[in-house]
Chain A
């Protein structure tokens, strides 16, 4: 989840929580206040009633046995007076309760004051009720109002938070994008600070800049080192090579001497090949190659196929290319050539006589997948993992391999952001999957 979204969500949730808690307390508080008021009113009414009590009035109330509701249509209040027989309850003078009462066929919730009293030696029970409907209505209104406020404020705050965090975090995302995501070569890094008034982001920007400067320094040193090593190592090899070649031209050279010189030349050639391979890997990893060529996969494979055609015929291999559509991307032509050359050459080298090599391609929305499959010896799972390491030679590998071919493939693939996956079955063949991101 993005930081911007998280912040907005956090703000919204806290707002909801605060309003909800507040509303809850207001409701409880209000309820108890109104109940209190009603009770006070009931007591006042009772006092008034009791103080004005007369025989006539009692009779009236008792005989009619009807509520005191003539004047109120909504049945907001009622008074009931009964003769009480139970003397025991006389101890308790007045009590409140909240109960449902049916008054003239209308059931409502009432706050009820019940009092037993003695008037002219007779016991009576008086009940005065006042409806709770008004309180409930108020409660409902407050509840709806709170809900309305809640929804509106959540909506508004979501929009406002989103807009604000977007504005606030814009420099942060700019830093991530420009200074980290888009940088694949520290030599071409833009040290211009991203404009922001937020100090934290400025610090982040500055530390990324200084980190990148350090990396660039290391790259430069490594680049220098590679150049020096290549010069310092290849020059003596060159001298030896030419000297041995000249010695070979000596007509007085014995047969044995000739053989030994050639063996030395071969060793020297091996040394050269190893150094060149290592230098190639270092240069690729050091981003010393440009990625500006437009490359067509079909064209490239056709080229490699032509170059390796004699090897294919030598082993009687059939070669099939099954690409429904071409894939064109930008990269380094000579490196991609080396990559395909190494992979297809491996497919030939470790194939069996009369085997086949099939190249197919699939394209979907995210990537282009190129599959090179052979019918060769295959590898064990643990061998596949090892195969990409430098100087790792497999038992099945031919003697004249230096074990650098796949290491080169891996570094070139990484340079071009190509994912490699190898699947292999012993004695059935190997499939190399290359995933080019679009």
Chain B
């Protein structure tokens, strides 16, 4: 899958590119509106990560331009530091698929991109196997020996997020923000997520050994696959 990163802040663009590159994405860059406009016109992308504040113009124009091209299915995620509610609404109205306020976590970005892929392309493979468990993304369930494991909505969210970001330590903070959203002060007592992880681990441990579900002391969690 190929991604176009339209971002004038080069170091940020390069960090995103490095991360997505490891995840197997093909990366293309545009630093300015003019060059981005050209690239959008010439190539079609699976994802366009769009910064709204570009040195030579507004990102909304690019979005508009893209939406006027026939037959394009590029998934657009707006990345912006403006974080104004109006921008968010306008962006989604103009046809962006998602909106991430800076600063965002790369694992969150990845989760959003996966969600868009599933939505847009009706992903052929909607099930992920993890050590004998089956994560059914479409039905939002986890199955073991053809039987549904009874997980709460939040437990499923946590499991899904950790699986999506497999082999990577996900901090409590990051996990909290993913599950509960960006609710300012609420995030402050981030060890709250532990209760849910504890319950989740208990439920899974009843079925199979879960040595692959690591607790990284004082940081967070990791699922190794």
Contacts and interface: CB of A to CB of B under 8 A. Distances in A.
Interface of A: 227, 230-231, 233-235, 237-243, 245-246, 248-249, 258-259, 262, 265-266, 268-269, 272-273, 276-277, 279-280, 283, 288-289, 307, 310-311, 314, 334, 338, 341-342, 345, 349, 398, 400-402, 404-405, 408
Contacts of A338: 183-184
Given A277-B185, A402-B185, A235 B102 contact: yes
Nearest to B10: A239
Contacts of B19: 242, 245-246, 249
A404 B218 CA distance: 26
A234 B103 contact: yes
Interface residues of B, number: 43
A314 B189 contact: no
Nearest to B8: A235
Contact of B81 (A230, A259, A314, A341): A230
Interface in B48-74: 53
B22 A272 contact: no
Contacts of A258: 169, 216, 219
Interface stretch (B35-43, B120-128, B138-146, B190-198): B190-198
Interface string B76-105: 000001111100000000000000011111
Given A234-B103, A235-B12, A239-B11, A345 B85 contact: no
B214 interface: no
B103 A272 contact: yes
B16 interface: yes
Given A245-B107, A249-B168, A234 B185 contact: no
B128 to A, nearest CB: 20
Interface string B160-204: 000000001101010000001011111111101001100000000
B132 interface: no
A240 B19 CA distance: 14
Nearest to A231: B81
A277 B216 CA distance: 30
Given A262-B219, A400-B190, A237 B102 contact: yes
B154 to A, nearest CB: 7
B114 to A, nearest CB: 17
B15 A314 contact: no
A338 B218 CA distance: 29
Given A230-B81, A258-B219, A338-B183, 15 more contacts: A230-B83, A235-B12, A238-B9, A238-B102, A245-B107, A249-B22, A259-B219, A262-B220, A273-B184, A276-B182, A277-B184, A307-B180, A342-B186, A345-B186, A402-B188
Contact of B154 (A249, A269, A310): A310
B106 interface: yes
B185 A310 contact: no
B15 A269 contact: no
Contacts of B85: 289, 334
Contacts of B220: 262
30 contacts: A227-B84, A234-B81, A234-B102, A234-B103, A235-B12, A235-B81, A237-B103, A238-B9, A238-B12, A238-B81, A239-B11, A239-B12, A241-B104, A242-B106, A245-B105, A245-B107, A246-B19, A258-B169, A262-B171, A272-B103, A276-B184, A288-B84, A310-B195, A311-B192, A314-B195, A341-B186, A345-B186, A398-B188, A398-B189, A400-B190
* Most chain A beta carbons < 10 A, residue from B104, B188, B189, B196: B188
B188 A273 contact: yes
A273 B12 contact: no
B184 A401 contact: no
A239 B9 contact: yes
Contacts of B106: 242, 245-246
A30 to B, nearest CB: 82
Contacts of A266: 171, 173
A231 B79 CA distance: 11
A268 B174 CA distance: 12
A239 B189 contact: no
A401 B19 CA distance: 32
B184 A242 contact: no
B18 to A, nearest CB: 5
Contact of B11 (A243, A245, A277, A310): A243
A265 B171 CA distance: 9
Contacts of B182: 276
B83 A234 contact: yes
Which of A238, A248, A307 is the most central at the interface, judged by chain B CB atoms within 10 Å of its CB?
A238
B185 A235 contact: no
Given A234-B81, A272-B103, A400 B188 contact: yes
A342 B185 CA distance: 7
> Which residue, B82, B183, B185, B219, has most C-beta atoms of chain A within 10 A?
B185
A272 B184 CA distance: 9
Nearest to B193: A310
Contacts of A245: 15, 19, 105-107
A273 B187 contact: yes
A376 to B, nearest CB: 15
Nearest to B171: A262
A259 B218 contact: yes
Contacts of A401: 185, 188
Contacts of B16: 242
